[in-house]
Chains A and B, each alone.
Chain A
Amino acid sequence: MSVNDKVILLVEDNPDDEALAIRALKRNHISNEIVVAHDGVEALEYLFGTGVYAGRDLRFKPAVVLLDLKLPRIDGIEVLRRLREDENNRLLPVVVLTTSSEEKDVLDSYSLGCNSYIRKPVDFLQFSEAVRQLGMYWLLMNEPPPI
């Protein structure tokens, strides 16, 4: 399975942000499949193979999860907590990609074991650059955990 086969799980409830994130990924020639979960519940269903994703082959893990914090139903912090508690997702690369840089959010995210914390800039060009580097790093440079 090559790098490009791996999906990117984008957890994002704001359709504009979803569109812009996908645009930024495409713009930077990242051709991996992008799965979008629109809230925490959907994200967990995908990763645990439950609900609408019941029966999904859990051997296929995303290369990276791009996780927004402010989400309907289950928020990003809670998603992160449940992933880290789960034996199969403990080591899954999770990048928090969110609007706020409130100290509490940053601290909570790192305490729960996020791999990186990125604040979405207002400037789309900066955002696009951040996404490019993200893709470069997590899809090409990073050696994923052997799970």
Chain B
Amino acid sequence: MIKVNNLSKSFQRKKVLHSINLELDIGVYGLLGANGAGKTTLLRCMAGLFESQQGEVLYNDEPIHKSKSFYNDLGYLPQAFGMFQELTLYEMTDYICSLRNIASNQCSSAIARALESVNLEDKARDRVKTLSGGMLRRAGIAQAILGDSKVILLDEPTAGLDPSERVRFKNTISCLKQDKMILISTHIVEDVDACCDNVIVIDEGQILFNGSCVKLKNIALNKVYQVKEADLAGIAGEKFSLKVNDKGGVVYHRVLTQDKQAFPSEEPSLEDGYMCLVRRLA
């Protein structure tokens, strides 16, 4: 569906993306990386916003800027969202329908479905400027899933959402994913774990990993240990303390290490796999 071929992007002398190669088909992909890793730049290149210095983005084997169907099939949510403050939410979404060439006789039902998906149907007649930050984010998700978008690119979709809305977002993605390519850029590992079938890890503009969530977890297999603080010094080799928690007054460290330890290892999580990759413990 979407192919990214040898894509590089620089801003003046700073190279942000280094020869990215990706092939994304139907499914939900999580684009995971630290702040400044190049997630947003990659998404913007994939949306046709940035022209790359090298390489190209293809949609159904056609460069996106030449593809007639790409922009009709694209649903996009940028990090910053909010315009037409004086229109109602319904009107703002209607405007997006028109921009996206959704037939006017289908707009009304498409808007109703999208707003229902994000639990904003009762706010349809409210002005955009009266919506809270979280509601605005949900409105952004609604416009991205409007109609029959085949390609949905979401940049930090869950930023500012409360826990119940995050659950709702995950359910919405699960319902939508049947025949679509959805790419969710985030630095929240839990969101990827809950929503995505596949994960792409990007660090300093390079793809470190592209595969299933299970595969990423397995990178940390036999590398995760839960140790008491007092025993921390006993861990052999190079180590990285991932989490510190207090259980009944005893402080435990969740430690990542490449060296086999004398005590049993823990079941790895997606976060452990991700940290192994970015700490080069893989």
Does A pair with B? no
- Interface residues of chain B, those whose CB is within 8 Å of chain A, are none
